[in-house]
Amino acid sequence: MRIDIITIFPEMFAGWFDHSIVKRARKKGLAEIHLHNLRDFATSKHRNVDDYPFGGGSGMVMMAQPIADCIDHLKKERNYDEVIFLTPDGEIFNQPMTNKLSLAENLIMLCGHYKGVDERIREHYVTMEVSIGNYVLSGGELAAAVICNSIIRLIPGVLSDETSALDDSFQDNLISPPVYTRPANFNGLKVPDVLLSGNEALIRQWRSVQALLRTRKRRPGMLED
Ligand code: SAM
């Protein structure tokens, strides 16, 4: 999978993509991430990418021209499955969405700043608008990193045990059951006996029940779905 991220702060991504599973995916050639500095597509003398809003009001708006030129430039090279704009009023990101996006070959992610981007970009260039929650961040970079992380870990071959992602929370509309590791007795706090029993059928049954109980307690709406 190839992900092209359009941003005015490419340097922000360094830490997020250089560790753990995303780093491994990049090293194995399973995920390529290309950062594009929007200012490289600005045509004005001072490489401006924002301007005052028509009609007045506070804040600046990201101009259409540099964004359109950057997207056109990328689209000349290859076809894209989606051009995603990160925006607080987009569709709320969730596991079914990340499952679907993990099957894509090429994605563009556009990170906004200031008051957002000129509406004409949203109407004519963007194919999908995604929010990571009902709150406002100062820029789309964190949201893009969250989505990239969530997608990349699902690409076949990225996780050392691929079945591990299948019993994550939100797959199958359930929350994951509790997990424990050694020691079996930590300062008097004991691991449930069933997990030490070696009886695989009983352990599977216990985990299913725990997943249901947790889902009912923490996300009852998911069971109604
Ligand atoms: N004025 C915009 C509004 O009220 O909808 C908010 C703009 S916000 C300060 C600047 C940029 O941060 C947005 O264009 C978007 O790219 C990003 N952003 C902020 N909150 C986000 C969220 N919850 N999910 C995804 N992106 C977000």
Do 152 and 21 contact (CB within 8 A), yes or no?
Answer: yes
Show the DSSP H helices in 19-163 as ranges: 20-27, 64-77, 95-101, 119-124, 141-152
Pairwise CA distance, residues 91 & 74, whole Å: 24
Any atom of ligand 1 within 6 Å of the Cβ of 140: yes
Q: Which domains does the chain have, with CATH numbers?
A: 2-152 (3.40.1280.10), 169-224 (1.10.1270.20)
Average pLDDT over residues 46-52: 96
Which of 121, 120, 94, 126 is closest to 107 using CA atoms? Answer: 126
pTM (two decimals): 0.95
Please provide residue 189's backbone torsions phi and psi, each rounded to the nearest 5 degrees.
-90, 115
For a pocket test of ligand 1, which of 61, 84, 86 has the largest count of ligand atoms closer than 8 A to its C-beta?
86
CA of 193 from ligand 1 middle (Å) equals: 48
Q: Which two tokens stand for residue 134?
A: 């009902």
* Tens digits of residue pLDDT in 108-160: 999 999 999 999 999 999 999 999 999 999 999 999 999 999 999 999 999 88
Average pLDDT over residues 33-48: 96
The overall average pLDDT reported for the chain is 96
CA of 112 from ligand 1 middle (Å) equals: 7
Please, which pLDDT band fits residue 183 given cuts at 50, 70 and 90? very high
CA of 32 from ligand 1 middle (Å) equals: 25
User: Which pLDDT does position 111 carry in this prediction?
Assistant: 98
SS (H, E, C) 119-139: HHHHHHCCCEEEECCCCCCCE
In 3-state terms, what secondary structure has residue 145?
helix
* Tens digits of residue pLDDT in 24-38: 999 999 999 999 999
Percent of the chain with pLDDT over 90: 91
β-bridge mates for residue 4, sequence order: 34, 108
Do 46 and 87 contact (CB within 8 A), yes or no?
Answer: no
Q: Which two tokens stand for residue 143?
A: 């949201």
Please, which pLDDT band fits residue 166 given cuts at 50, 70 and 90? confident
Do 37 and 68 contact (CB within 8 A), yes or no?
Answer: no
User: Which pLDDT does position 164 carry in this prediction?
Assistant: 80
Pairwise CA distance, residues 31 & 150, whole Å: 12
